[in-house]
Amino acid sequence: MMSDDCNYIEYDKPADRVVRITLDRPERRNAQNTRLLYQLNAAFDRAAQDDSVHVIILAANGPHFSSGHDLGEIGSGQADDNVRKEETVGTWCGFGCAGAEAQMAYEKEVYFGLSERWRNLPKPTIAQVQGKVITGGLMLVWPCDLIVAADDATFQDTAVELGVCGVEFFNHPYELGVRKAKEFLFRSNIITAAEAADAGMVNHVVARDRLQAFTLELAQEIARKPLFALKLAKEAVNAAQDAAGRSTVMQSAFGHHQLSHAHNMLVHGMLMDPSNLKQKPRSNPSE
Ligand code: ZN
């Protein structure tokens, strides 16, 4: 795949002290290719480094927040590297190496690394979510501090169905609790915004036509607080998670994820197990 020169991100200031970053690839359901992810990272950096900004909203144009990773790119590491060289923040190495080393390099920097970086931004972030969030899409939503979901939002990780042990940013137990996280992974099932809120993953569920206004009101309320207190409060909560072992768990799961890819490459000649690729996502048995 040749690299493109599209702009996939909108950046605006809808209110005093509030920046809104919007994914703008609606014709592909905001699928994440390398360029979109680096452009998103640059937008987050810009908002983080602007001291007049207290709160960052992450939104998405179109009916669905994100369909996940752009499958057209997966496994095309050398082409991705062209974009990486233009946009890179350069946190890892070995992108041109053979075998599992290059795959790990790409996912360590572009998937795991960027999501972890966004989770640690020095000011509050709010995900504004509508429609479907599938697999890699979770790695855009979960790093945000708060999540506001429209009542039509749904969430799903299809990784296990495809022979991989979960998305690279393995925050499942911290989002859903251990038991619900296991079911979410084992079944690859869709959960609704209401179910996600019951599990503690989503802060607020609102009507679809109220989503943008509600999120902006929430952002403005938080933005009136002193920024230093906000960033210290965020650091304190994140430190509580990390002191309980989150960082180690994430590293361990990322290793398992790479083992899944290496196994599939040896057995199937591709990064995923193709046996369920054409199977439609399952909803709850009661539906
Ligand atoms: Zn992967």
Distance of CA 107 from the midpoint of ligand 1 (Å): 6
3-state secondary structure at position 245: coil
Whether 287 is covered by a domain: the verdict is: no
Residue 1 has pLDDT above 50, yes or no: no
* Ligand 1 ion: nearby residues, β-carbon < 5 Å: 107
Distance of CA 205 from the midpoint of ligand 1 (Å): 30
- Residue position matching structure tokens 């994430």: 250
Whether 101 is covered by a domain: the verdict is: yes
pTM of the model: 0.92
Distance of CA 161 from the midpoint of ligand 1 (Å): 13
Q: How many domains does the chain have?
A: 1
Distance of CA 135 from the midpoint of ligand 1 (Å): 11
Return the pLDDT at 183: 98
**Structural domain boundaries, residue 92:** 9-276
Encode 83-108: b = buried (16+ Cβ within 10 Å), e = exposed. bbeebbeeebeebeeeeeebbbbbbb
pLDDT tens for 22-47 read: 999 999 999 999 999 999 999 999 99
Distance of CA 258 from the midpoint of ligand 1 (Å): 7
State what percent of residues in the chain have pLDDT above 70.
89
Distance of CA 99 from the midpoint of ligand 1 (Å): 14
Distance of CA 169 from the midpoint of ligand 1 (Å): 10
Question: Which residues sit opposite 66 in a β-bridge?
Answer: 133
Whether 286 is covered by a domain: the verdict is: no
Distance of CA 41 from the midpoint of ligand 1 (Å): 19
Whether 281 is covered by a domain: the verdict is: no
Across 4-13, 147-156, 236-245, 264-273, least confident range: 4-13
Give the tokens for residue 121: 């931004």
CATH of the domain at 263: 3.90.226.10
Query: Left if phi > 0, otherwise alpha if psi is -120 to 50, otherwise beta: which for 256?
Result: alpha
DSSP 87: H
Return the pLDDT at 283: 47
Distance of CA 121 from the midpoint of ligand 1 (Å): 23
Distance of CA 100 from the midpoint of ligand 1 (Å): 11
What mean pLDDT comes out for the span 248-255?
96
Distance of CA 108 from the midpoint of ligand 1 (Å): 9
Whether 284 is covered by a domain: the verdict is: no
What mean pLDDT comes out for the span 62-77?
80
**Residue 228 to residue 28: CA distance in whole angstroms:** 38
Whether 282 is covered by a domain: the verdict is: no
Distance of CA 286 from the midpoint of ligand 1 (Å): 31
Cα 74–178–180 angle (5° rounding)? 75
Distance of CA 127 from the midpoint of ligand 1 (Å): 23
Return the pLDDT at 88: 60
Distance of CA 134 from the midpoint of ligand 1 (Å): 14
Whether 188 is covered by a domain: the verdict is: yes
pLDDT tens for 145-184 read: 999 999 999 999 999 999 999 999 999 999 999 999 999 9
Distance of CA 59 from the midpoint of ligand 1 (Å): 24
**Residue 170 to residue 259: CA distance in whole angstroms:** 14
Distance of CA 261 from the midpoint of ligand 1 (Å): 7
Whether 4 is covered by a domain: the verdict is: no
Distance of CA 111 from the midpoint of ligand 1 (Å): 8
Cα 174–245–56 angle (5° rounding)? 50
